[in-house]
Structure 1
């Protein structure tokens, strides 16, 4: 006897729809390893339908005064709060995340971020207009771009969807968003929530659309002639593919890709406090975070003390069931990700030492133990490449110059942190670290008002903040003669 699976559907032009050809994929709960739903495997005809809906809705949505778009987003934020338990349940099943942590660490910032961009909708600023040529006045218009094709990742399906749709809608664009094929449930629910608000307030249903599918579906979205912009949060490989595809018709591209954050710990820092904070920032969400504190560089004089304390913290960090309130993180997202993390551990060089963890936990689901690896060299695979799992590496450095060289000696450039009581050193390091964010004596806090985005192979464009809002607008110069 088999248990029937819940049927997830695309949300296009205000309606739930199956893929036109009826194809589906199974959606697995990573905490159990069992399928719990099916989702559409959307093809070109489904993408066409979503793009047509978004394109048709764009003129009316673009032409709304910003205050009206603000009303929509504020009501969406209210609905997120009202339906928080539904969103939490969907995300927990999507990702195997601890319910208590989704409730405390994801819902509040998501609501706050939507409200921030609701306010940003009314702050479409340009540089001063005026007369820069005799007899003419110049005016700057900041306008929406058009239809945005957006691809969200599986590590934070709900929150990354918010980071994409909130600035896009606030600026007057319409959206077609594709969740990861492993985590579609919460995004489909978001589609229904936004669609109901649009309907209530009398706006076109096609302003926001959700298309489920795989990489091929994402490719079809990016290469489709309708969108004026493609936005993706994902791997470096996926970002390169999107940039290449978008180049065929010169779409604007917004990329938030991988990371390998250096965490530079100097000998004068409070080691106990640093270990406490770094272990949380490294293991939260099973290390499946582009900004995770998973590459630690420690000054040699306190290296052994730090490693011993971090190994102890790892041993005391708990992973497990979604309803266990003592759990810090849940499983890895899928079987392939578990295989990848195991592969990094299996391929460790002989000089590396596993100080804690290093193994799968249990025989059901995709859980992996909090892990600490020491004795590593700068050119080791696990130092140079993103593990995206609950694995913290530790290297020993001698002085500030060496720490800075090793910190920057990486292809990624998303986030970093410096741990020291020396203010001048913190300022020198923050100036020279080649990363989009530098935290000092902390790691991983984000606020809606400040930008998030990296350099080098971590991509380009900003999420959050007024800078992220600007990315979803275009600038037009209007010049008028004063002669009448």
Structure 2
């Protein structure tokens, strides 16, 4: 086979190969066909990238916030100008519909870069004062150093922007590794940014899990950031602990959407279906668990089933496709295995099957009759599958919603404002939406509780994650 695309690493401001010359296949998930290769980065290549980033940090960390703002604004403008290329790369990467990337994900990535360009100039430090007689104290924020970052295959372009922008705004250098199945759009983003950044400040290496392990084991990074599974996060945390590295973990989710009897069910079902099946359910914020009150349970199940039938998967160029394929053959098999292992008391009321033989498409699927302890309720699937459970009271709704190891996001559907406020306080989730599910804002924090996260993205909180605080005290008396 003659491959059409050969990706390279990007280190020190230029495309680079690897010492061993090994590669990984790039497969289009909408066809199942290989269309290129990416480098398989080994330890020596990781070591070289870290040394380049460490050297570049010495200069970049001394730039002023205004200088970093100007660079990031130039990067954002260039990303916007080359939107068509980036959309094409992301759709080839993931199989997402063109409209989703063009109208939603790429604009948000640009917005995040611009937000952190501005945030670089308004970092907040603690107030200075005289806390010891004859001495004045103040605190200052400083960059950490080299940040090693790994992104997920669920939203490659958006997650790259969300990690890189605050790290650079804070004055750090970055070595970034995208997921092995979806490096194409990230590689293009890094090369675009490289036109404006000093050489070595932002570097890209491609590879597999072992490449990521080499990054976290390397002595240079002062911080390791990953968006991935709980298992990956625990492995990273354990490895980083051996060298007392700071970790920034954004992990899984099993988001509940709690629909009370007084909710507008047609509206709730429409929006929950979009949040459950969009991106083929491959999002840690997907509304994968619906909890419905006794008075609306049957109506909610029926409405979600109708939407599951109506929301058809398809390739990126299909204007009628509601969502694209699963990421890989392996991910398709994971979804199918979960459905094959359903207990007898669970019923598939819509979908449940692979869609077609070409590519990794799967029908939007609704499963009712599940119990709280069932695997499909407890585990993140990352597929277009939603479960529906019945609750009898507000207290039971809270118990069911909180009864998993995740705590990333949740949504509440009700016309009762007081109930909505009570639920927003009681739900163990980093974000609680009321009568909506999925919108994010660059200005507000995105994080989670329990096994979902140990760090914050977005807003000034995301910028603070990539800095450290220093106390400076000066004596008045020089004698």
Counterpart position of 1:482:
476
1:163 correspondence with 2:197 = no
1:98 correspondence with 2:92 = no
Any idea what SS the aligned residue of 2:195 has? helix
Any idea what SS the aligned residue of 1:148 has? strand
Counterpart position of 1:255:
249
- Runs (4+) of structure 1 moved beyond 6 Å? none
Q: Name which of 454, 459, 464 aligns with 2:458.
A: 464
Counterpart position of 1:37:
36
Counterpart position of 2:75:
76
**What is the distance in 2 between the residues matched to 1:189 and 1:175?**
16
- 1:5 Cα offset (Å): 3.5
Any idea what SS the aligned residue of 1:398 has? coil
Q: Name which of 441, 445, 456 aligns with 1:447.
A: 441
Return the TM-score normalized by structure 2: 0.99
- 1:3 Cα offset (Å): 3.2
Any idea what SS the aligned residue of 2:258 has? strand
- 1:4 Cα offset (Å): 2.7
Any idea what SS the aligned residue of 1:26 has? strand
Q: Name which of 225, 234, 248 aligns with 2:219.
A: 225
Alignment of 1:274-289 (within 5 A): 274-289=268-283
Counterpart position of 2:414:
420
Q: Name which of 208, 213, 216 aligns with 1:214.
A: 208
Counterpart position of 1:138:
137
**What is the distance in 1 between the residues matched to 2:396 and 2:18?**
54
> Cα deviation per residue 1:276-297 (whole Å; 9 max; x = unaligned)?
1100011110000001011000
Counterpart position of 1:330:
324
Counterpart position of 1:125:
124
**What is the distance in 2 between the residues matched to 1:353 and 1:279?**
18
- 1:96 Cα offset (Å): 0.7
Contact 1:100-1:323 within 8 A present in 2 as well: no
**What is the distance in 1 between the residues matched to 2:459 and 2:57?**
24
**What is the distance in 2 between the residues matched to 1:143 and 1:390?**
42
Counterpart position of 1:432:
426
**What is the distance in 2 between the residues matched to 1:158 and 1:267?**
39
> Cα deviation per residue 1:7-64 (whole Å; 9 max; x = unaligned)?
1000000111121110001110100001111000000111011101100000110000
**What is the distance in 2 between the residues matched to 1:438 and 1:342?**
30
**What is the distance in 2 between the residues matched to 1:6 and 1:317?**
32
Alignment of 1:299-378 (within 5 A): 299-378=293-372
Return the TM-score normalized by structure 1: 0.98
Counterpart position of 1:292:
286
**What is the distance in 2 between the residues matched to 1:427 and 1:214?**
44
1:172 correspondence with 2:171 = yes
Q: Name which of 221, 225, 228 aligns with 1:234.
A: 228
> Cα deviation per residue 1:299-346 (whole Å; 9 max; x = unaligned)?
011101111111011111111021112212100001110000001100
Q: Name which of 223, 231, 240 aligns with 1:246.
A: 240
Contact 2:3-2:37 within 8 A present in 1 as well: no
> Cα deviation per residue 1:58-97 (whole Å; 9 max; x = unaligned)?
0110000100000110000001101001100110000011
**What is the distance in 1 between the residues matched to 2:329 and 2:309?**
24
**What is the distance in 2 between the residues matched to 1:187 and 1:113?**
15
> Cα deviation per residue 1:107-162 (whole Å; 9 max; x = unaligned)?
11111110000011001211110111110000111000000000000010110001
- 1:361 Cα offset (Å): 0.3
Tell me, which stretches of 5 or more residues in structure 2 are unaligned? none
**What is the distance in 2 between the residues matched to 1:125 and 1:74?**
21
Any idea what SS the aligned residue of 1:206 has? coil
**What is the distance in 2 between the residues matched to 1:177 and 1:271?**
43
> Cα deviation per residue 1:336-383 (whole Å; 9 max; x = unaligned)?
100000011000010111110000001000000010000111111100
**What is the distance in 1 between the residues matched to 2:157 and 2:107?**
12
1:195 correspondence with 2:189 = no
**What is the distance in 2 between the residues matched to 1:53 and 1:106?**
31
Contact 1:171-1:469 within 8 A present in 2 as well: yes
**What is the distance in 1 between the residues matched to 2:315 and 2:408?**
31
**What is the distance in 2 between the residues matched to 1:187 and 1:322?**
18
- 1:458 Cα offset (Å): 0.6
**What is the distance in 2 between the residues matched to 1:165 and 1:322?**
26
**What is the distance in 2 between the residues matched to 1:4 and 1:42?**
19
Contact 1:345-1:358 within 8 A present in 2 as well: yes
Any idea what SS the aligned residue of 1:360 has? coil
Any idea what SS the aligned residue of 1:361 has? coil
Tell me, which stretches of 5 or more residues in structure 1 are unaligned? 199-203
